[in-house]
Structure 1
């Protein structure tokens, strides 16, 4: 697949800073979101020995660490909650260094597991959740090309919205929508819904890699996403909707109608980091080889020593522009994945020190720019060693929740 690589981009015109003192967050519940991205892992790592084997333990630990919102993929392409006992099977993906999702064979009544999980989550008043779809549909060259037979293969985002509507009807019947903070139609547009990049190229004559979107590209993207969101709003007006996106400033030229923003800001958007660490050169072996780990860690650390203030300043400026856009569009800004490297793993030669330092300063940046939701990194899952450092998480989550 085309990996969801951040791009160093600008937009055609700067977003002027606003002077409106109105704060949307004062009228939202919760007023602050501390987010943990759990993708498919919350059920596909539920088997014996898996990091989510004990739902009660993991949910209690989540509350203990101060996270009040978890991001879940209910897999509308695979899961029919009207038939929760149906046994589904995923083969071993042969990706031993896959940090999230699943990295072993999985077989079981995953719909029933999801129901059990949601009942336990809703029994804990502190916890909220968002729903997001990664749209793995067994279609090459996607990262996960093998899994159960899909219920339907969405050809565009409107068909994806129709699949969401089917799932949400059963979801509402079983759980209601209490504490569902927002729904993310598609993770990190344009990378995950099958065929979107190809259709964009065919319709506009230009791919995603251009320096600035043309008017035709802006129109195509807006019409595609707004049409899908319109279907959802008409069917379930009580919910909030978005599409998660990268911190790519070209989005600020696209008139999308999101109710809130889930923007993913990462270091590889800055070529000064990418060139020094050579991260992009390892895309093909991220999940299967560790021979690059030691050199990558060394390069990350010397890059931090040389230009950390510069990297932070540039990222802060980008957050500021999205924060201004959020105010203009009436869509409070969150992030459920962000800040340093979007790939890391608990491995002997991968040093997390620089990444955790970046995570620590990110909470101040989020507070400064009045973000509604924040996460320290995209490794807030119980299989990571950092999860065991309870005080580290509590220090950051409490700082944000009390801001």
Structure 2
């Protein structure tokens, strides 16, 4: 028996979304020999693994905002000489020049050829601007008053949707998010402070989602939360047409980061514990930080300490620490996963909207670390997918690392099996 469409899902969209997270990498990693140089090949691989949906930073502000940037020849760059080569999402070659709107059209045309759908989002108040050769994208975003950012992003996203309609490609839109992780991005600072994660920005998020719905009542619109307030779901606006949330349980990973001081600034960084996990050929931190421009670090929000840790960690030692200490965190991590999925499903049911888990499950790891893609991480992911099936989620990722720009992409049979499991639920 085929699964039925959840309440509120248009009939032209799939009854289940199996999502691979292409984020901003579909344009930052577009050089020859990078994973997204050939979009048709990337879609071929996605479909072969059982995916029917990609989730992207559609760069709406860059492509449709009022900033004067020439988007017909956008030069993309790396983070700096050797910076990011071991950091997930940041191992970018750089040097590619793209026509931004043409690239968007190419992606949607390829999605149609492969019968896939696209979740529209934006990482522009998080990472994306750091990959442009110059800082003009970052500066334009920073110049938008904090109380106007939600409105500006919603207007840009609505204009982007109209552009896709004008090119007869809007049927490929699964739904549109105001911005990736409104609670964890610089879009959130609506009161001018770091305390604007939930309640202070609630009316701004609600108004922005309403703007998108008024402009395009035929396209589902919503907000996206990186750390869903599962103990205070009343702070989530009521008008989102999709319950889109992320679940990272961290647990043992957070314990490792705290023990090693991965995110600590100097002079506490690098700690003795972290040095015990580093590669023998790691450069001195003070030499390493000179390889990137300070504004790029500001634009990503990722600290120089974290880049250094992830670029120069001995991943075998990193993974060994996680395996040796996982036992004391196992039940807490699984319970956290279950609790959050239960609450998010209840919220979505009470609002009569479909539930989507757009990212998960353990947390942010070095590019070549294998813990999350290994037997323990896969076991947690399998539990998560089973639970998503039980609560009737419309869509889910198998994990944030299941995408062409991560090593876990090569585990084809596992992805095929669990995408089949979810689609056949």
- Please, what TM-score do these two structures have when normalized by structure 2? 0.76
Q: Relative to structure 1, is the Cα distance of residues 261 and 330 closer, same or farther in structure 2, using a 3 angstrom cutoff?
A: same
Cα distance in 2, alignment partners of residues 64 and 331 from structure 1: 29
Partner residue in 1 for 2:312: 290
- CA apart distance, 1:23: 5.3
Contact map agreement 1:381 1:387 (CA 8 A) in 2? yes
Partner residue in 1 for 2:205: 225
Matches within 5 A, 1:54-93: 54-79=38-63, 86-93=72-79
Quick one: which of 163, 166, 170 aligns to 1:170? 163
Question: Does 318-327 or 286-295 show the bigger shift?
Answer: 286-295
Partner residue in 1 for 2:7: 24
Quick one: which of 224, 245, 254 aligns to 1:244? 224
Render the CA deviation track for 1:179-215: whole Å, top value 9, x for unaligned.
Answer: 3111011111122244x3362638xxx565xxxxxxx
- Please, what TM-score do these two structures have when normalized by structure 1? 0.80
Cα distance in 1, alignment partners of residues 394 and 254 from structure 2: 29
For this pair of structures, how many residues does the alignment match?
Answer: 364
Cα distance in 2, alignment partners of residues 118 and 23 from structure 1: 24
Secondary structure of 2:359's counterpart equals: coil
Q: Relative to structure 1, is the Cα distance of residues 336 and 286 closer, same or farther in structure 2, using a 3 angstrom cutoff?
A: same
> Is 1:124 aligned to 2:119, yes or no?
no
**What root-mean-square deviation, in Å, do the aligned CA atoms of Structure 1 and Structure 2 show?**
3.2
Partner residue in 1 for 2:409: 387
Partner residue in 2 for 1:274: 254
Secondary structure of 1:374's counterpart equals: strand
| Gap runs ≥5 in structure 1 | 1-21, 209-216
Contact map agreement 1:136 1:144 (CA 8 A) in 2? no
Secondary structure of 1:201's counterpart equals: coil
Q: Relative to structure 1, is the Cα distance of residues 291 and 386 closer, same or farther in structure 2, using a 3 angstrom cutoff?
A: closer
Contact map agreement 1:41 1:102 (CA 8 A) in 2? no
Contact map agreement 1:66 1:393 (CA 8 A) in 2? yes
Q: Relative to structure 1, is the Cα distance of residues 36 and 349 closer, same or farther in structure 2, using a 3 angstrom cutoff?
A: closer
Cα distance in 2, alignment partners of residues 255 and 137 from structure 1: 20
Matches within 5 A, 1:258-273: 258-268=240-250, 270=251
Secondary structure of 2:176's counterpart equals: strand
- CA apart distance, 1:67: 0.6
Render the CA deviation track for 1:140-171: whole Å, top value 9, x for unaligned.
Answer: xx866864633953432011112222322222
Q: Relative to structure 1, is the Cα distance of residues 326 and 101 closer, same or farther in structure 2, using a 3 angstrom cutoff?
A: farther
Contact map agreement 1:25 1:32 (CA 8 A) in 2? no
Partner residue in 2 for 1:15: none
Partner residue in 1 for 2:189: 197
Partner residue in 2 for 1:135: 124
Contact map agreement 1:40 1:101 (CA 8 A) in 2? no
Q: Relative to structure 1, is the Cα distance of residues 349 and 386 closer, same or farther in structure 2, using a 3 angstrom cutoff?
A: closer
Cα distance in 1, alignment partners of residues 127 and 324 from structure 2: 40
Q: Relative to structure 1, is the Cα distance of residues 132 and 255 closer, same or farther in structure 2, using a 3 angstrom cutoff?
A: closer
Contact map agreement 1:294 1:349 (CA 8 A) in 2? no
- CA apart distance, 1:120: 1.5
Matches within 5 A, 1:302-313: 302-313=324-335
Contact map agreement 2:24 2:58 (CA 8 A) in 1? yes
